[in-house]
Amino acid sequence: MAKRNKLQKFEQLNSFNNVFQNFNFEKPALVGAHGETIELKGNWVKEHFGNDKPLVLELACGRGEYSLALAEKYPDKNFIGVDVKGARIWKGAIIAKEKKLENVAFVRTRIEQLALFFGLGEVSEIWITFPDPFLKKSKANRRLTSKYFLDSYKNVLKEHAVCHLKTDNTMLYEYSLEVFEEERVIVNYKNADIYSGPLYIPELEFKTYYEKMHLEKQLKIKYIQFMLT
């Protein structure tokens, strides 16, 4: 039953006009509704959203809770949730359609391939919300705040763009700060327990499915706002 439901979701994704998928990671290309290959690199705002508003990415977006919440709160911006899991993106895409949110879309691809689908200086802001911390040292390069990924973000971010990391994982939080110091990343703000006092920015009040689970376990939520140089 679960397998059939997943296949149905994948079939629906193929017809959604707010979802773009990269099916072949070795021969990457974005496919839109009804299997149409689409080239939007450098033109997302104009060609897909039909405006000139800033573009914000949520990486490892999962079900897209943050992208959806941000899109509702900030209609003057465009949002794209990026994740490799189609079944997760399906949920966010469905909610976006139900709420008629025209300023949010989803891209299914590996985050390593961002620069293939977004142009130089095209992205105004990045959110990284509760990513897999990849606890083993052998997988450190897969952490979304590793030097490898930071370098890749530079290929799509505007100058002085703000990035956000929100996590429950102490190791990832401390690791990120160490990398930022080594790479001379500008840290605007850091907090190892954001709910212990007033929130630094109102966007931190949004809670993902995973964050709610972490809070039930009385885990502290951590946050870093940073800028790449």
Burial 174-195 (b: 16+ CB within 10 A, else e): ebbbebbeeeebeeeebbeebe
Q: Is 132 a catalytic residue?
A: yes
Residue type, 195: Y
Given the structure tokens 């212990």, which residue do they identify? 196
3-class state of residue 23 by DSSP: coil
Distance between CA atoms of residues 40 and 210, nearest Å? 31
Distance between CA atoms of residues 162 and 125, nearest Å? 5
Q: Which of 165, 39, 60, 57 is nearest to 110 (CA)?
A: 60
* Complete DSSP assignment for 207-226: --HHHHHHHHTTPPPEEEEE
Residue type, 51: N
Cβ atoms of residues 164 and 224 within 8 Å = yes
Q: Which residue among 132, 151, 168, 193 is the active-site one?
A: 132
**Residue 61 burial class via C-beta count within 10 angstroms: exposed 0-12, middle 13-18, buried 19 and up:** buried
Active-site residue list: 132
